[in-house]
Structure 1
Amino acid sequence: MNVVLWIIAGLLAAAFLGAGVMKLSKPKDQLIASGMGWAENYSAGAIKAIGGVELLAAVGLVLPALLDIAPVLVPLAAAGLAVIMVGAIVIHARRGERQAIIANVVLLILAAVVAWGRFGPYAFTS
């Protein structure tokens, strides 16, 4: 199960690294044009903040365990991503974006599995 948790954490990190970098590097108008209609309702600063949090969480899913420095940050990052996905589900539900909701639910489940595994039976021990 440890290997499975590493794989899931790596996949989540890659997904959120890409999403975070995209939100940080592209202007609001380009994000909206690329299919992120939800960005219409938020300021450019809020979008950048979401991107920054996603980027930090992506790093937090992998780096602390790899470096064996504060590995408790891994399940905390996963739990944080789960909370972000709950918010994303609410936003997409309000907008009627069903496909986005499905993707958010999958990411929520994967983040919750990592949080559960790393807080619980497969925690990193010193």
Structure 2
Amino acid sequence: MQDSPPSLAMDGYASNVPAFLTKLWTLVEDPDTNHLICWSINGTSFHVFDQGRFAKEVLPKYFKHNNMASFVRQLNMYGFRKVVNIEQGGLVKPERDDTEFQHLYFLQGHEHLLEHIKRKVGWW
């Protein structure tokens, strides 16, 4: 399988960052979508609130689908992990629909690290 060709980054230089990651960064950064997806307080993860509304209202603006499961599958393919709240032990469902994801190289203010996020090979 071949990666897509490098795209031009905003600064005009070639970027090896896959389109999915560029779109993800853009939508997490977009203040207009903060009620449905935003950075965590410390900027080391991001939250998706109200998955139903997020899938219906936000996903189609950035992707060719409105399927939350497909979005999560993509995150998993790039090594993102769901954050489990220790106090809840992962057994108690949070009161609000809030899912948190993190990746070592997906950090607020550090867009240059996106090039280190690689799609898993043979993940299936």
TM-score, length-normalised on structure 2? Answer: 0.26
In terms of fraction of residues, the more helix-rich structure is 1
TM-score in terms of structure 1 length: 0.26
